[in-house]
Amino acid sequence: MAHLFTIIFYQPILNLLVYLYNTISFHDFGLAIIFLTILLKLILWPLGRSAIKSQKSLQDLQPKIDELKKQYGDNKTELSRATMDLYKNNKVNPFSSCLPLLIQLPFLIAVYRVFRDGVNNKLDYVYSFIARPETINLVSFGFLDLGKPSIPLAILAGLAQFWQAKMMITKKPEVKTPGSKDESMAAIMNKQMLYFMPAITIFIGISLPGGLTLYWFVLTLVTVLQQLVTFRKKDKVATGDKIVEGIIVK
Q: Give the model confidence (pLDDT) of 14-30 as tens digits.
A: 999 999 999 999 899 99
Within 8 A by CB and 6+ apart from 227, the residues are 52, 164, 167, 168
**More reliable by pLDDT, 220 or 185:** 220
Write the burial class of residue 218 (CB in 10 Å: 0-12 exposed, 13-18 middle, 19+ buried).
buried
* pLDDT at residue 248 in the model: 44
pLDDT at 79 > cutoff 90: no
pLDDT at 94 > cutoff 50: yes
User: Distance of CA 53 to CAs 85, 98, 202, 234, Å?
Assistant: 19, 12, 27, 9
**Residue boundaries of the structural domains of the chain:** 2-138+145-249
What's this model's pTM, rounded to 2 decimal places?
0.78
* pLDDT at residue 162 in the model: 92
pLDDT at 167 > cutoff 90: no
pLDDT at 72 > cutoff 80: yes
pLDDT digits (tens, 9 = 90+) for 107-144: 889 999 998 888 888 899 999 999 998 899 999 998 99
Highest mean pLDDT among 37-46, 47-56, 176-185, 192-201: 37-46
Mean pLDDT computed over every residue of the chain: 82
